[in-house]
Amino acid sequence: MKNLWENTSKEQELFPATPENQTADLLIIGGGFTGCSAALEAVKQGASVVLIECEKIGFGGSGRNVGLVNAGLWLPPKKINSILGKKQGEALISSLGSAPDLVYSIIDENEIDCDPKRNGTLHCAHSEKGMEYLIERLKQGQEYGEPLALFDKSETQNRIGSSKFFGSLHDPRAGTIQPLAYCRGLARKAKELGAKIYEKSKVAHIKRQNGMWHANVKNVVIKSKYLLLAMNAYQDLGKEQNTGKFSTVYYSQFATRPLNSNEMSTILPNKEGCWDTATIMSSFRVDEAGRLIIGTMGNSEGFGKKIHSNWANKKLRDLFPFLPELEFNYRWSGKIAMTKDHIPKIVNFKKNALSCFGYSGRGIAPGTLFGKACATALLSEDFSMLPIPVLKNYSESLTREKTAFFEIAAMANNSFKSLKM
């Protein structure tokens, strides 16, 4: 099946597939949120920029997610502080709390046609324990001035149109977008300002020589003073330089036809994006045309395709039993770069080079922020203002085994839940 975002993106900028021998201030490898945000920021600062993408702009997680522009990370503030320390933790909480402001301001300033809505998101309690978690999350958020609101079961039902949740936590800083269109819009604007962007151009090798970075692409050499690796979960380059080793997790989306006005009358009238408190979470929203989009962990294109598809059908009926029988017209999957502590990483693996990854499923706002910050840090050669402390290397163990475990767990979870619904 097709990817809905590919089929509905209003941003359709074309980029060449054959680079030329050239020298730039900054070379970016990876055309997702991080890479495109970095390219836009760098050209705005007057730098010459080359961005290389081995597939299409937004091919990876940036064009495969549900499109929730969330503030912060999955982790509550106290957990972030316990990992990073109070000073660095609070700095990250603050910067990511305002990251949706950055996203929506970029959309407005650059006239990116990506269906932006900023009516907040709902974190939905799937159980009584989930509601207890939201109460604690509200308490911690209020300590940091986060404008959160806790809704009871009745108000949550009014907001969603489903009686399946015990309550929800509303974050008005957040919203939804068409994520692929946003990513393409970043690239389109960077190109308009002078960035050289190439698709379908796989980098075969990178090395540092005579004070410059050299990237070999289709028998062409691109040289640059600075290098940013922004491949996230699709990283397949630079492993020999210890640019980052982590686990990946698949997440799948399923989308219906556009609902008619009667069907839509009670479903998400404010168009908030939603996700639940389950350990193996699920998400749902409606797009600009009124399609219902439901997501879950797992690879719907792999050997668990039938299990995940069956779960999606039953989940749809469980949430909204009053709807007629609906088929999914779209189905797609993408990979998430998952760090063991769920905090993104920036690795300064060699001189004048950064690798940025590990948003753990929260890539739109953090990726935009981190990309912009990495561009500024490299061009100024000052890493002190980056959102998180810079590492010299990052390597987790048993990453393949963890990736396999996550998929097996998602299949078991969705199979079991399908029996209960």
CA distance 136 to 142: 10
Helix (H) or strand (E) holding 108: helix 99-109
Whether pLDDT at 192 is above 90? yes
Q: What angle do CA 332, 369, 101 make, to 5 degrees?
A: 95
Residues 353-378 have pLDDT tens digits of 999 999 999 999 999 999 999 999 99
Task: Please give the average per-residue pLDDT across 167-193, as a whole number.
Answer: 98
Whether pLDDT at 240 is above 60? no
Residue type, 261: S
Whether pLDDT at 238 is above 60? no
CB 80 within 8 A of CB 130: no
DSSP letter at 355 equals E
Sort 324 into a burial class: Cβ within 10 Å, 0-12 / 13-18 / 19+.
Answer: exposed
Whether pLDDT at 2 is above 70? yes
Whether pLDDT at 241 is above 70? no
CA distance 177 to 62: 11
% pLDDT > 90, the chain: 88
Whether pLDDT at 339 is above 80? yes
Exposure on the CB side of residue 7, measured as CA atoms within 13 A? 13
pLDDT value, residue 239 = 56
pLDDT value, residue 242 = 61
Whether pLDDT at 55 is above 60? yes
pLDDT value, residue 303 = 84
Q: What is the mean pLDDT of the chain?
A: 94
CA distance 61 to 59: 7
The residue written with tokens 């050209």 in the block is: 43
pLDDT value, residue 155 = 98
Task: Please give the average per-residue pLDDT across 270-297, as a whole number.
Answer: 96
Whether pLDDT at 61 is above 90? yes
Which range (47-56, 143-152, 157-166, 400-409) has the least confidence?
Answer: 400-409
Q: How far is CA 196 from the centre of its chain?
A: 24
Architecture, CATH, for domain 4-120+173-420 = 3-Layer(bba) Sandwich (3.50)
Task: Please give the average per-residue pLDDT across 39-59, as a whole number.
Answer: 97
> Sorting pLDDT into bands at 50, 70 and 90, what band is 136?
very high
